Amino acid sequence: MRRLAKRFLATAICLAAAAVVLAPSVGAANRCSNPAGCLRVLRVSGLIDPIVVDFVERSVIEVEATEGYVGVVLELDSDGVVVSDAEFERFVTRLRSATVPVSAWVGTGSRALGGAAELVVSLPHSAMAAGSVIGDVGEQRLSIAAYPDELRGSGAEIRDRAVSAGRAKDLGLVEFAVPTFPQYLALLDGVTTHATTVKGKPTTKLDTSVVFSKPDLFAQLLHTVASPAVTYLLLAVGIGLLLFEFFTAGVGIAGVIGAASALGAGYGLGVLPFRTWALVALLLGGVAFAVDIQAGIPRFWTAVGSVLWMVGSFGLFDGVHLPYPALATGLIGMAIAMVSGMPAMVRARFGTPTIGRDWMIGELGTVVGAVAPDGVVEIRGATWRARTNRATPLAAGDAARVVAIDGLTLEVEPLDGAAIDYRERRGTARSS
């Protein structure tokens, strides 16, 4: 385990170091040497989380400090915002007060929903392409005191529904509705163009250089982990692999991967809004699964775990959408693993003769939970599922003798008054 942990840690350190090395340097690599100026385009996709906020703010600061840049454009495709309202308002205010113009573009097939729609509406000179949508704002996140006119009047239409680019332009939510990104850039202040001919057709070419930027490798990894689908699936994988490792001899790579998945899910839950009761339901579902995994047969507790897992999965995230493919994968995958895969694996693992548990037949132990006819006994400091004859129930604290082993369940009897002589039972078990 120590060797595996060291390898995992070394790999993580190497990846982090590579991310730092491969990350674009600030300033030197992004100088503008074009006399016609440069325009920075920041690609922002997914939920607007702390990683995105930090990336955009650092990029704007860099552009402000670099001579020759005429503006910043956010190329946006987002379903909402997961930073606090106060942090989001501070972020929008910072962009609006930048010394270079900052605007937003929602391209074909993209969308700006929830807080992302508020961001687009709040930035001057923003635009949308045909095939894009904006809206579903719900309750306004920007304070009415600081932004009183963003969603009032005709703009209130996007509070509870999404609208197309043309409709957004008619409502005054965006300044431009144009077919392509280059056409939009040509409309921005400070961007210079020239007329030319391509294949006999007149067209407009940009003189201003366009510099595209996105977060570095490590930041992209964290941003991906903090998406609802990845966080949920990491949580499912983490719980499943940790249960697998708990019921196998020793600790191996599954335990390391399970722990890493759980850590990733923890980071995602630290960023995304979630419901505590739903997370508790998922964790209790894992505990319920473990009870029947120990028995080696899916029974009552597997059903309880399945219900808890389903309820927790549907209610986990608050205000952000968990994609249906990820939800289905988590539900079906956990059901298959806990109903069929895990019990079969445990039975095969502990049913093999290499484990050598014949010594337990005839061993004496103490009843932990009443065995009537099923319960729990303790043998040499370890607890086991146990079963006895209905005619000879055992109470907690009674002494019991092991007479046979059925999978992961011990067949036991009282020291006195057993329904069948344990030596006869033992002989039967051995002959079978």
All structural domains of the chain with their residue ranges: 26-214, 226-353, 358-431
pLDDT at 406 > cutoff 90: no
Highest mean pLDDT among 196-205, 278-287, 362-371, 400-409: 278-287
| Lowest mean pLDDT, pick from 165-169, 301-305, 403-407, 410-414 | 403-407
% pLDDT > 90, the chain: 47
**Which residues are CB-contacts of 96 (< 8 A; sequence separation ≥ 6)?**
102, 122, 123, 124
| Predicted TM-score (pTM) above 0.85 | no
Domain 358-431 has CATH 2.40.50.140: yes
Q: Which CATH architecture has domain 26-214?
A: Alpha-Beta Complex (3.90)
Instruction: Give which of 228, 355, 230, 333 is closest to 289, Cα–Cα.
Output: 333
**405 or 181, which is more confident:** 181
pLDDT of residue 12: 47
pLDDT of residue 30: 64
Mean pLDDT of the chain, nearest integer:
82
Instruction: Give which of 284, 303, 302, 285 is closest to 293, Cα–Cα.
Output: 302
Instruction: Give which of 105, 128, 94, 88 is closest to 42, Cα–Cα.
Output: 105
pLDDT at 237 > cutoff 60: yes
- In angstroms, the CA 97 to CA 100 distance is 8
pLDDT tens digits, residue range 281-322?
999 998 888 877 766 667 788 889 899 999 999 999 998 889
pLDDT at 428 > cutoff 80: no
| Lowest mean pLDDT, pick from 61-70, 234-243, 278-287, 412-421 | 412-421
